[in-house]
Amino acid sequence: MNDCENPSSQLSVTSPPQMHPNGSQPNGIQSMEDAFNRPVNPEALQMVLSYLRRNGLTETEEQLQREAGHMIKNEHSGGLRPEEAITLEFEQFIEHANACTDVVQAEFSQLIFPIFAHCSS
């Protein structure tokens, strides 16, 4: 049996997005021009990247990451400048290292200066 005879291998057709009574889309977009002119938030970008990854569109995913990589990086820092984000992460690492047991704390203490030196350069 080939793919044409197998009903489970055929694509399913989905209905178009439903319009609200006032003519707008649920997210407030009224035309494709509105959609293209809207800024993309990091959450939506991450959803698109995961969709591309799931569907094996690696070249498209890599291109999108190159073009919008700055948005993804800034999302994790909470909108802070890079220097502030690094300082915040380093302080959180120090707090975590100090909260660990003595054995683990001794291991972490060996990492503190190299990380500090790398972050401050």
pLDDT in tens, 78-103: 666 777 878 888 888 888 888 888 88
Task: Give residue 37's pLDDT.
Answer: 67
Same domain, 61 and 91: no
Same domain, 99 and 113: yes
Task: Give residue 49's pLDDT.
Answer: 84
Same domain, 87 and 116: yes
Q: Is residue 3 part of a domain?
A: no
Task: Show the low-confidence residues of the chain (pLDDT under 50).
Answer: 1-3, 6, 8-16, 19, 24
Backbone φ, ψ for residue 12 (5° rounding) = -95, 140
Task: Give residue 110's pLDDT.
Answer: 87
Task: Give residue 12's pLDDT.
Answer: 45
Q: Could you give the number of structural domains in the chain? A: 2
Q: Is residue 21 part of a domain?
A: no
Q: Is residue 23 part of a domain?
A: no
- Write out the residue range of the structural domain in which residue 108 sits: 82-120
Q: What is the greatest pairwise CA distance in the chain?
A: 66
Tokens linked to 110: 């060996």
Cα separation, 2 vs 17, whole angstroms: 32
Task: Give residue 18's pLDDT.
Answer: 52
Same domain, 45 and 72: yes
Q: Is residue 33 part of a domain?
A: no
